[in-house]
Structure 1
Amino acid sequence: MSLPPPTDVTPGDRRMAAHVRPLVLALRPALTEAEFDRFAVEAHAQGLVFTAAYDEHGHCVAVATHRVLATSRGRVLFVDDLVTDPAHRSAGVGARLFAHLAARARDAHCTRVELDSGVTNHLAHRFYHARRMRITALHLALEVADG
């Protein structure tokens, strides 16, 4: 049986709360449901795309959030989040979604796909290296919290 192609989900679509939000919250447990909902609306308005991958039974098994950015290094498809339901890991779901993102990058005339990955997330690093991604930079951050 052929799997359906990944599909974009927008804020206001019932699938955002039912399918996308639970997987993103699994990746980002510090977010509450209300915070996710506010984030989804604001980030979507800034160009963030939410793409969901489904299995043959219609269950959401992976989600990617991404956007095309014009940078001084060329156009890039930047992946903010890529998460596979833990029950479906190592089954090719993430690889299928990643291939979909790479095709979207080519169609958008991007020079590459970029993402950040936590320095201790070794399983993700192995996944990305298997997709021929290279470590090309360090992402540095400065917290500037209120007060």
Structure 2
Amino acid sequence: MDHSDVRIVELTTEAEWRRAYPVMSELRPYLEEEGYLRLLREMRKEGYRLFALLEGDEIAAVAGVTVWTTFYYGRHVFVYDLVTQSDRRSRGYGRKLLNHVERWAEERGCERVALSSNQARKEAHRFYEEKMGYRKPSYQFVKEL
């Protein structure tokens, strides 16, 4: 695969976030564009960063992360969102983007990268465990209020 015209950038403007919406909506189909932008503005205040893998000038994949410190992971980056556009999968873009996040985390003094993945996303689990070297140390629980 030729990745000569592939690069990763941080998306920091509302215009860039809008360009990323079609890719993000593949992972979060329940989000309308305006709701996505409203939440993203709030999340940015809390430290959320959005990275995009560009193929030429087109966004092919995105990753949304935050740096946190907890008792169980220490200082770490949590990956909230990682998705490659469906017609561009199996080109190594997810690996390239997650590798970028890992380097970015190390540059910020993080000890590890953590993420959560929906139980139904079996292919994603195989990718994280078999190709990226992640382990599954716990289950995540949520309760609606």
TM-score normalised to structure 2 length: 0.92
Distance in 2, matches of 1:48 and 1:11, equals: 13
Aligned to 2:57: 58
Tell me the SS of whatever aligns to 1:80: strand
Q: CA deviation at 1:111?
A: 1.1
Kindly provide the amino acid, as one letter, of the partner of residue 132 in structure 1: G
Distance in 1, matches of 2:133 and 2:5, equals: 24
Aligned to 2:144: 143
Q: CA deviation at 1:21?
A: 1.2
Tell me the SS of whatever aligns to 2:7: coil
Paired residue total: 141
TM-score normalised to structure 1 length: 0.91
Q: CA deviation at 1:16?
A: 1.1
Tell me the SS of whatever aligns to 1:67: strand
Which runs of 5 or more residues in structure 1 are unaligned? none
Distance in 2, matches of 1:143 and 1:67, equals: 23
Q: CA deviation at 1:4?
A: 4.3
Distance in 2, matches of 1:3 and 1:135, equals: 34
Q: Deviations over 1:39-68 (max 9, x none)?
A: 11000111000100011x221100000010
Distance in 2, matches of 1:35 and 1:60, equals: 20
Q: Deviations over 1:109-133 (max 9, x none)?
A: 1111100001110010011012000
Aligned to 2:12: 10
Q: Deviations over 1:56-97 (max 9, x none)?
A: x22110000001001113101000000001111110111100
Tell me the SS of whatever aligns to 1:64: strand
Aligned to 2:33: 33
- Percent identical: 31
